[in-house]
């Protein structure tokens, strides 16, 4: 368990994030990161024990870039700010964002975000015993929505379907045909979803 250097960690994470943003997550290799900061691949191992820890560092970087939550705002303003900021993050870093789902994130950064949501729910009047569950419910949805968008799960309907739909194999699709022109306005949809979720919280 060697002690890690920290000096150039931010520089390395910057490089890694830039590579993933520009060329996709598959292009994020130790060798590519090294080349980008003008160093031999092995130099990276002085700062991160292995590639997995570098990815953990990337997750931490994403989390710290979320808003800290100004104390003056109301609970639903704070919740909403978190949700929209998370979604914006996914759009800015679609390659890296899905890692948030994969990595437990028990880092201080992650706990800080959770603490913010806990506080918002407490302020909303959610009973203490219910707060952790509702927090998981909300972050699961928000993370899931943002990840779906980043991965193209909501678009991509395309052609093959349309014909099959017409063939009548899927009766509900046929009936809803007028409303299936791909989720045109995801901003509006996300807003409506959040409103629905807040309705869960309110009278809990």
Q: Distances from the Cα of 199 to the Cαs of 41, 144, 175, 193, in angstroms?
A: 51, 19, 29, 10
Which among a copy of itself, DNA, none contacts residue 122 (Cβ within 5 to 8 A by kind)? Answer: a copy of itself
Rounded Cα–Cα distance for residues 204 and 200 (Å) = 7
Output 4 or 102, the one with its CB closest to a copy of itself: 102
Which among a copy of itself, DNA, none contacts residue 156 (Cβ within 5 to 8 A by kind)? Answer: a copy of itself
| Three-class SS state of 160 | helix
Output 41 or 144, the one with its CB closest to DNA: 41
Output 53 or 187, the one with its CB closest to DNA: 53
Rounded Cα–Cα distance for residues 109 and 1 (Å) = 23
Positive or negative, the CA dihedral 71, 73, 79, 82 is negative
Output 45 or 154, the one with its CB closest to DNA: 45
Contact between residue 183 and residue 154 where contact means Cβ atoms under 8 Å apart: yes
By CB under 7 A, is residue 60 in contact with DNA?
no
Positive or negative, the CA dihedral 26, 3, 102, 153 is negative
By CB under 7 A, is residue 8 in contact with DNA?
yes
**Would you tell me which residues interact with a copy of itself (CB under 8 A)?**
98, 101-106, 108, 111-112, 114-116, 118-119, 122, 128-129, 131-133, 136-137, 140-141, 143-145, 147-148, 151-158, 160-161, 164-165, 169-173, 175-176, 178-180, 183, 189, 192-193, 196-197, 199-200
Which among DNA, a copy of itself, none contacts residue 18 (Cβ within 5 to 8 A by kind)? Answer: none
Which among DNA, a copy of itself, none contacts residue 39 (Cβ within 5 to 8 A by kind)? Answer: DNA
Output 35 or 109, the one with its CB closest to DNA: 35
Rounded Cα–Cα distance for residues 143 and 87 (Å) = 8
What sections of the chain are H helices per DSSP? 9-23, 30-36, 41-44, 51-64, 75-92, 99-102, 108-123, 131-151, 158-166, 171-175, 186-201
Contacting residues toward DNA, per CB under 7 A: 5, 7-8, 27-32, 34, 39-43, 45-46, 50-52
């Amino acid at each position: 368990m060697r002690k890690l250097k920290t000096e150039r960690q931010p520089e390395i994470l910057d490089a890694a994030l830039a590579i993933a943003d520009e060329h996709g997550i598959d292009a994020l290799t130790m060798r590519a990161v090294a080349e980008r900061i003008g160093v031999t691949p092995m130099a990276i191992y002085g700062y991160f024990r292995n590639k997995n820890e570098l990815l953990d560092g990337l997750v931490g970087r994403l989390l710290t870039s979320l808003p800290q939550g100004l104390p003056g705002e109301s609970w639903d303003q704070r919740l909403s700010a978190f949700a929209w900021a998370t979604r914006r993050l996914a759009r800015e870093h679609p390659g890296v964002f899905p890692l948030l789902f994969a990595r437990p994130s028990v880092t201080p950064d992650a706990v800080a975000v959770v603490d913010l949501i806990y506080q918002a729910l407490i302020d909303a009047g959610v009973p203490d015993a219910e707060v952790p569950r509702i927090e998981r419910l909300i972050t699961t949805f928000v993370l899931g929505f943002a990840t779906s968008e980043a991965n193209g799960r909501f678009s991509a309907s395309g052609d093959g379907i349309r014909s099959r739909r017409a063939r009548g194999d899927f009766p509900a699709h046929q009936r809803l045909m007028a409303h299936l022109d791909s989720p045109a306005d995801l901003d509006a949809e996300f807003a409506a979803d959040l409103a629905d979720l807040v309705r869960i919280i309110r009278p809990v």
